[in-house]
Chains A and B, each alone.
Chain A
Amino acid sequence: MLEVRNITKSYGEGRTRVTALDNVSFTLGKGKLLAILGPSGSGKTTLVSIIAGLLGPTSGEIVIGGHAVHLRTASQAARFRREKVGLVFQDHHLVPYLTAMENLLLVPHLSGRVTRTHRELADTLLADFGLTARAAHKPSLLSGGERQRVAIARALMNAPEIMLVDEPTSSLDTERGLQVVELLKAQVHERAMTCLMVTHDPRMAAHADESLTLIDGRATR
């Protein structure tokens, strides 16, 4: 369960003060995919960064599974992301010098050690995402859709409670974009995760369970 309570995020002081998020609140249950829509500069990425603990809010609370995220220190936030959060970026951001398999194993590596269980999980995820044959390939040898699928598989490596997905289809054509969203939705339902997907594309948002629109930092459902 994700609870976003009265989150406000401002930058600057006085006349130069800019409010990126203005008193945003919503709740999202397990096994739900929420699409966050909004025009450029509406605060979508800021909201995802705050939920991930990459940014702190100016005011308000983020509660995940009964624990406040916004009060954590930088190292606690890093640990929280390693253990509880799956992040998928707009441009996949796979590590270029690691193979698809190694990109998946990077997540347990950051937690300390890679076990046989982790390798088996990575094998399973690559198989689930139709990437077994591409396991030993580096990102430069993968197509855009394959890279995004590897990125989603990587985000699932730590069995996250919450998935934060930022524009996963922006670099894909409609057909491949829809495939990725369907894949994501299936995983969210199957693993009973809470998932936020930032998108600007209403066609992709239509496949989500719920949607929320941000305009000038204010949320409407």
Chain B
Amino acid sequence: MLALKELLGSKLKFSLIALAIGLVVSLTMVTSAMSEGLLTGMSGAKSSLAADALVFQRDTYPTLERSILTANDLKVIAATPGVMSVYGVGHTFATVGSAEEPFDVRILGLGDRFDQLPIVEGTGEPGPGEAVVDVTAKLQGVELGDTLTLTPVNAELTVVGFTEDRRYVMVPALFVSLSTWEDLHVASVLGRVEDEGGADAEAGARMAREFAGSASIAAIELEDGVSIADVEREFDGSYALATPADSARAGNGMPEMILAVGGIQVVSIVIGALLVGVFFYITTLHKTSQVAAVKAIGASNAHLYRELIIQITILVTVATVFGTALAIAAGAGMPPMMAFDPDPVRWATSVLAIFGTAYLGSLFSLRSILRIDPATALGRTEP
């Protein structure tokens, strides 16, 4: 009764408190979501590959950029006991030179597994010379049906669909068929050679033959009951193996970035939670004479603790809902290039930390009040 009455009786005061806590919740959530979004932007195209594991060329793990698997490698991997299915994933660099302002992209060839892409516009089945593009490319003016001219490979791709959350190293990924990737990859290498004045048609033709049926890495799905370690043993060091999530968190400066981002998240949660804890400690301490008076007329300590817990629970719950809504609204208002990827686990962690310190701060404060001399707590002054 008292807890609710006090909340309703001092609406402005408690609304401001809820606003302050809500902003703290919002801050921790936005910080966390933007940090996660940064990681998604760095490696979303790799971490979201539909596979139990990714197989890399030996000694290149986890570098997608350096790995190359021949057609024979893919056959060997497919024939490995415990491997249920395999599809190749190719990677190469390019620049979209036809845009008003040229921008970098990463080209990813997918072997017959385009069903894994979440399509937000157009189709998800690119034919030869066609691409499904990450939606962030729209910020560069790319539209459905556009023909993109890639440099230095001097090739053209028609945009047939848009997907989302598929960036790699912060630039949009272009998904093409594996055969289109082969052409682009060879052209990319030859283009560089040509630029350096060493074009060799015969070498180019040989390279095209060598790359036929190849991929940068292989994405595999395992049979039931088979672990990655089992397949790794079967490979016996011939290939490197990792889950998509693990491989996404390695290379391209990702370990350092993850440490930095993790540090930002921890610091924001700790500071936010401490602020709320100290805040509740002080606001509860301000009620010293009121608590002492209610105690003096017969309230038990248990009753006072219960009322305080009810009040904190209501207040922090309202603040959390408000803060979460605010953070989600902020995220929705951000442009696609500003990565915002709320993580429920981190959100729950920050909310739990805030609840925890709110309880600790206020209960510790009440404990202090209940320990002092009642006459002092009542603020009695001798006339």
Interface residues of B, CB < 8 Å — how many? 30
List A contacts of B289 (CB < 8 A): 91, 93
Interface segment, one of B2-10, B49-57, B63-71, B216-224? B2-10
Task: In the complex, identify which listed stretch (B203-211, B266-274, B296-304) lies at the interface while the others stay far away.
Answer: B296-304
Q: Within the assembled complex, what's the spacing in Å between the Cα atoms of A81 and B383?
A: 26
**Interface membership of B1, Cβ < 8 A:** yes
Which of A44, A97, A154, A158 has the most chain B CB within a 10 Å cutoff? A97
1/0 per residue, CB under 8 A from B, across A76-105: the answer is 001101110101011101011110001000
Contacts of B300 in A (CB 8 A): 74-75, 78-79, 110
* A45-B382, A89-B380, A91-B379 known; A107 vs B298 contact (CB < 8 Å): yes
Q: A109 to B296, alpha carbons, bound, how many Å? A: 14
Binds A, one of B113-121, B129-137, B337-345, B370-378: B370-378
Taking a contact as CB atoms under 8 Å apart, the answer to whether A110 and B297 are in contact is yes
Q: Is A200 an interface residue (CB 8 A)?
A: yes
**Nearest CB of B to A94, in Å:** 8
Contact (A41, B296) CB under 8 Å given A95-B290, A96-B290: no
Give, as a whole number of angstroms, the nearest-CB distance from B13 to chain A: 10
Indicate if the CB atoms of A93 and B293 lie closer than 8 Å: yes
B381: chain A residues within 8 A (beta carbon): 90
Contact of B295 with A78 in the complex, beta carbons under 8 Å: yes
Which B255-270 residues have a C-beta within 8 angstroms of A? none
How far apart are the CA atoms of A96 and B296 in the complex, in Å? 16
Number of interface residues of A (CB under 8 A): 40
Q: Look across to chain B and name the residue whose beta carbon is closest to the beta carbon of A199.
A: B383
* A52: interface (CB < 8 Å): yes
Known A93-B378, A166-B380, A200-B383; contact A138-B9, beta-carbon cutoff 8 A: yes
Say whether B373 contacts A55, CB under 8 Å: yes
Once A52-B296, A106-B297, A170-B383 are accepted as A-B contacts, the answer to whether A97 and B9 lie under 8 Å apart by CB is: yes
Verify B10–A79 contact, CB threshold 8 A: no
What 1/0 flags go to B274-304 for Cβ under 8 Å of A?
Answer: 0000000000000001101111111111110
A110 & B299 in contact (Cβ 8 Å cutoff)? yes
A152-182, CB under 8 A of B: which get 1 and which 0?
0011001000000011001000000000000
Q: Quick check: A107 and B297 within 8 Å, CB to CB?
A: yes
Which residue of A has the minimal Cβ distance to B303? A110
B374 and A89 contact, CB distance less than 8 A: no
Chain B residues near A90: list those with CB within 8 A: 378, 380-381
Tell me whether A111 and B9 are in contact (CB under 8 A): no
Could you tell me if A95 and B294 are in contact, using CB atoms closer than 8 angstroms? yes
Q: Chain B: which residue is nearest A82 at the CB level?
A: B298
The 4 closest A-B pairs by CB, nearest first: A97-B9, A82-B298, A93-B293, A40-B382
Chain B contact residues, CB within 8 Å of chain A:
1-2, 5-6, 8-10, 289-290, 292-303, 373-375, 378-383
- Known A-B contacts: A95-B290, A106-B294. Give 16 more (CB < 8 A): A40-B382, A40-B383, A46-B375, A49-B374, A78-B295, A78-B298, A78-B300, A81-B297, A83-B298, A93-B292, A93-B296, A98-B5, A98-B9, A106-B2, A110-B300, A166-B380
Can you report 30 A-B residue pairs in the complex whose CB atoms are below 8 A from each other?
A45-B380, A49-B374, A54-B375, A74-B301, A78-B298, A78-B301, A79-B300, A81-B297, A81-B298, A82-B298, A83-B298, A89-B380, A91-B378, A93-B289, A93-B378, A95-B2, A95-B294, A96-B290, A97-B6, A97-B9, A97-B10, A102-B5, A106-B294, A107-B298, A109-B2, A110-B303, A111-B298, A155-B297, A167-B380, A170-B383
